[in-house]
Structures are given as C-alpha cells and as structure tokens.
Amino acid sequence: MTGVIWFVQWVHYPLLATVPVDRAVDTAVEHQRRTGQVLALPMAAEGVTTLWLLVSRPDAVSLIFPWLGAVLLAVALGSTVFLSVPLHSKMATNPTADVGRRLVVTNWPRTIAWSARTVVCTVMLLQVMRA
C-alpha cells in the first residue's frame, strides 16, 4: 500500500488537480470505479493481517508493534473516510478548481501513515527473522 499511496501522492492526485471542472465529474466517477477494483483486495489483506497480528502475535514480535501498526492503519483509513472520500464525492457531484489541490494536501496524513506502517512491518519481520 505504501507504493500505491506514494504514486497517488506524487503522480495521480496532482494530475487530478489539472482536470478541467467541465470534465471532473466523469473523471471522478471513473477514478472511483477503477480505484475500488484495484484496492479492494489489498485493503482487505491489510485489515485481516492487522487483526491476525493483534490476536496471534508471533512470540518474537514485541507487543507494541502490532498495536502501532493497527493505529497507523486506523489513521490511514480514517484519513481516507473523513478527508479523501468527501473530496472525491465533491469532485463527482459539485467539482471546483480547488478540489484536486485539496486532495493532494489532505492525502499527506495517509501517505505518512502508510510509510510509517511499512517501517513497523519491516521491524516485525526482522524480529521474526532474527528469532
């Protein structure tokens, strides 16, 4: 998910910011459709593995890391639900020239959360490998 979010942050959302208002509705609807198809499975996998680590943490993994990973996932998902989804909805129903720029700016919490989660997951993996 970290690679996807950085692509979105540096390429996709800046390009959405350049979509003319008269084409924004069609672009937003197609974006939502395609994004849902690509991200449904990876997001489900993130949720399942997070819950698994909370319930059945490997002995080698320090207790703090699964919980930290879960908090970071909650930040990423919360940012999606409370910041990104409303802006995408606005782009699909009542677009303005400002919506694309706001998508880039409000995506930073999600980008940081996914990046930090990668670090946490790497630490857990190293703990298991060294056990």
Q: What is the pLDDT of residues 46-74, one digit of tens each?
A: 999 999 999 999 999 999 999 999 999 99
Sequence-ordered alpha helix ranges (H) in 56-107: 64-79, 85-93, 99-106
Half-sphere exposure of 70 (CA within 13 A, CB side): 14
d(CA 15, CA 38): 18
**Which is more confidently placed, 97 or 5?**
5
Token pair recorded at residue 40 = 């449904």
Q: Answer yes or no: pTM beyond 0.85.
A: yes
Q: What is the pLDDT of residue 100?
A: 87
- At residue 96, the pLDDT reads 87
The pLDDT of residue 10: 95
Query: What is the residue whose two structure tokens read 């800046």?
Result: 14
Q: Are 29 and 92 in contact (CB under 8 A)?
A: yes
Quick one: tokens of 50? 């997070």
**pLDDT (average), residues 23-39:** 91
CA angle 12, 99, 74 (to 5 degrees): 70
- Using CA atoms, how far residue 101 sits from 18, 27, 67, in Å, is 9, 15, 33
Instruction: Give the span between the Cα atoms of 16 and 5, in whole angstroms.
Output: 14
- Number of helices and strands in the chain (H, E): 7, 0
